[in-house]
Amino acid sequence: AIEHTSRTAVVTGAGSRRGIGRATTHALVAAGYHIAVLDLDKEAAEDTAREVAARHGVAALGLAADVTDARAVDAAIGEAEAALPPIGALVNNAGITSPTRFLDVTPTEWDRIFEVNVRGSFLVTHRVAAGMAERGFGRIVFLSSVSAERGGGVFGGVAYSAAKAALLGFARSLARELGPSGVTVNCVAPGLIDTDITQGKLDEERKAAMIADIPVRRIGGVEDVADVIAFLARPESGYLTGATYDVNGGSHIH
């Protein structure tokens, strides 16, 4: 049996059935956390929470919130704080992508990509960071992307690569500020992972060409990413901060 700490991990965007967030909630239990799920989709968030509670016997709560909406984030985190042990970890996983070529991107699309990926991560982090610092413990993980490091070339276009690159600077800078308070901040940068984020828009031919270029010759699975996130969220990982962890099968070795 796992000995549980009295801490909760918040995972945003963990409703998606085949997504990285849902797999991460399961992996975080092994790191000693109870779970709060935030997602746009309330039913999906509740479904993940039920699944986690049933499978692992920990406390889990599914909450509806659009991470770009400050009041919704405040209310959802407030509910988690009232119902669960103190928040010890945050995984900023909610994200959207788009393959639109730069010359075709509208300001509206650009803003939406930044709103969800960057403003969303800002709002949730901002809401939980003070409590973590006060309690002297926190583990914050951002979902960046190999697109940020190598300038796209996977699925996401310029807007997505720029937004995911913003998170690298965000995490590094926050790591400096919060380090003295016992809070670590890191990024995980996945390569191509088998989820529904591309909404069927990645054709098989392109996928095969990408696999041929990946040293381990396969697309990543959600567990590949979830494991690294959970590793960073462990209490024992307190000397890892301000870093970017590549999970890409060797597709970007640098």
Least distance (Å) between residue 12 CB and ligand NAD: 6
Least distance (Å) between residue 173 CB and ligand NAD: 19
Determine the interface stretch with ligand NAD among 8-16, 50-58, 133-141, 207-215 (rule: CB under 6 A): 8-16
Per CB under 6 A, which of residues 46..105 are in contact with ligand NAD?
66-68, 93-97
Least distance (Å) between residue 195 CB and ligand NAD: 3
142-170 in b/e burial notation, b at 16+ Cβ within 10 A?
Answer: bbbbbbbbbebebbbbbbbbbbbbbbbeb
Q: Which of 40, 76, 80, 141 binds ligand NAD (CB under 6 A)?
A: 40
Please report whether residue 13 would count as binding ligand NAD according to CB under 6 A: yes
Q: Respond yes or no: is residue 33 known to be catalytic.
A: no
Phi, psi of 213 (to 5 degrees): -95, 0
Three-state SS for the chain is CCCCCCEEEEEECCCCCCCHHHHHHHHHHHCCEEEEEEECCHHHHHHHHHHHHHHHCCCEEEEECCCCCHHHHHHHHHHHHHHCCCEEEEEECCCCCCCCCHHHCCHHHHHHHHHHHHHHHHHHHHHHHHHHHHHCCEEEEEECCHHHHHCCCCCCCHHHHHHHHHHHHHHHHHHHHHHHHCEEEEEEEECCECCCCCCCCCCHHHHHHHHHCCCCCCCECHHHHHHHHHHHHCHHHCCCCCCEEEECCCCCCC
Q: Residues 190-219: x/- map of binding to ligand NAD (CB under 6 A)?
A: x-xx-xxx----------------------
Please report whether residue 15 would count as binding ligand NAD according to CB under 6 A: yes
Q: Which of 8, 19, 27, 139 binds ligand NAD (CB under 6 A)?
A: 19
Least distance (Å) between residue 243 CB and ligand NAD: 16
Query: In the bound complex, which residue of the shown chain has the CB atom lying closest to ligand NAD?
Result: 95
Determine the interface stretch with ligand NAD among 14-22, 26-34, 206-214, 232-240 (rule: CB under 6 A): 14-22
Per CB under 6 A, which of residues 117..176 are in contact with ligand NAD?
120, 143, 145
Give the total of residues touching ligand NAD (CB under 6 A): 29
Nearer to ligand NAD, 39 or 51 (CB): 39
CA distance 83 to 61: 8
Catalytic residues: 160
Which residues in this chain contact ligand NAD in the complex, by CB under 6 A? 12-13, 15-16, 19-21, 39-41, 44, 66-68, 93-97, 116, 120, 143, 145, 190, 192-193, 195-197
